[in-house]
Amino acid sequence: MANENTYNALYVEEVADKQFSQNIRERSINDLPDNDLLIDVHYSSLNFKDALSASGNKGVTKNYPHTPGIDAAGVVIADKSGTFNVGDEVVVFGYDLGMNTSGGLGQRISIPANWAVKCPATLSLKESMIYGTGGLTAALCVEKIERMGATPADGPVAVTGATGGVGSFSIALLKRLGYSVTAFSGKPEQSEHLTDIGASAVLHRDVINEVNERPMGRGLWAHGIDTLGGDYLANLLKQIKPGGGVSACGLAASPFFNLNVFPFITRGVSLLGVDSVNIPLTAKQHIWQRVATDMKLDNLAELAEEIRLEQVPEYLQRFIDGNVVGRYVVNLKK
C-alpha cells in the first residue's frame, strides 16, 4: 500500500454492455462506504458467489465498479459504534458484504459493526478464512441434521458436490464427529483426496440419478448434505432412509427440482434449508464457537490452498469452469 489512506483491491468494472474486467487497483479509503467499523483485512477466501459477482452477475451485485469478497478476517482500525476495540481480531461473513458493499477481496472494508464477530481465541485469522462461508455453511448443514436427531449410529451420510468448499468441509466435519460419509463427485480423479479428508466411500455423482423417473428408490443413506440442487437433490431425497433428513444449501446444478411427496409422507424424510447469509448474529457467533471447539479440524491446511490477491481473477475462473477443489484462502498481506 502506498500509505494508510490507500489500499489494494480486486476492482471489477463493466467496460461494455455485459462485459466486465477484473484488475487489482489501488483505491482510496474515501471510496469505502461511511460505516461504523473500519477493518484492515488480513485474509479472505473465495466462494462461488464471489465468482458470480466478479463476472458481472447482477442478481448478486447490482452496481459496478465493485470489489467482491463475501468473507473477511482482519484487525479493527476504528469503530465509531464502540462495539470493538482498536486491534481486535474480527471475522465477517454474510449480510451484504461483497455483494453490494465493498468486500473482503480488498485490504480495507467499512461495514456496520453488527456484521462482525470476534475471531475465536482458538482460531487464527487464516484458519477462520480456511473455513469462511464454505466451511461455516458446511457446519450449519451438519448442525441442521443433528438438530433433527441425526447420530453416527444412523448410518452413512451422503454428501454431494464433494470436492467443492462446502462439500469437502462437510465430509471432514462429519468424519470429525464420528459419521460415515459417502461422497459424490463428478471428478473421479479426486477420489483419493476425498478419502484422505474423511470419506468412507466415493461414488460418481451420476449414481444418485440412476433412480431416474422412479417415484422412490431404496433407502441407502441415513441423511444427506446437498450442494447441487436440481435432479441431484430430488433423487437423493428419494433414497434417504426413513426418518432421515437432507440439508440443502446449494444450486450449482440447478435452483429447481421436480419431486413427488412420497419421500416426505411414506418415509418421513425432511428437507432442511440452510442459509448462512442472513442468520442472526447470535447464530453466527454460535457456529463460529463450534468450529473453534468440537468442530475444529486437525487437517485444516489440507483443505485449502493459500493464494495472493493478484491470483484471485485466475482462481475465480475455476468456479465458473467447475474446476474447484477444496477451499482457496487469500492472503491480502502478501
pLDDT digits (tens, 9 = 90+) for 175-227: 999 999 999 999 999 999 999 999 999 999 999 999 988 999 999 999 999 99
User: Interior CA angle at 106 toward 101 and 107, to 5°?
Assistant: 125
Beta bridge partner(s), residue 229: 254
Residue 3 has pLDDT above 80, yes or no: no
**DSSP tag of 152:** G
Residue range 237-242: average pLDDT? 98
Residue 301 has pLDDT above 90, yes or no: no
What integer pLDDT is reported at residue 303 of this predicted model? 87
Place of cell 477466501: 45
For 200, the grid coordinates are 468412507
The SS3 of residue 165 is helix
What are the residues whose beta carbons fall under 8 Å from the beta carbon of 102, sequence distance 6 or more? 9, 31, 32, 33, 66, 67, 109, 110
What integer pLDDT is reported at residue 299 of this predicted model? 83
Residue 322 backbone zone (phi > 0: left; psi -120 to 50: alpha; other: beta)? left
AA identity, residue 87? G
Q: Are 77 and 39 in contact (CB under 8 A)?
A: yes
Considering the chain, what percentage of its residues have pLDDT values greater than 90? 92
Distance, CA of 297 to CA of 139 (rounded, Å)? 11
Residue predicted with more confidence, 5 or 223: 223
Q: Are 174 and 205 in contact (CB under 8 A)?
A: no
Residue 2 has pLDDT above 60, yes or no: no
| Whole-angstrom Cα Rg for the chain | 20
AA identity, residue 216? M
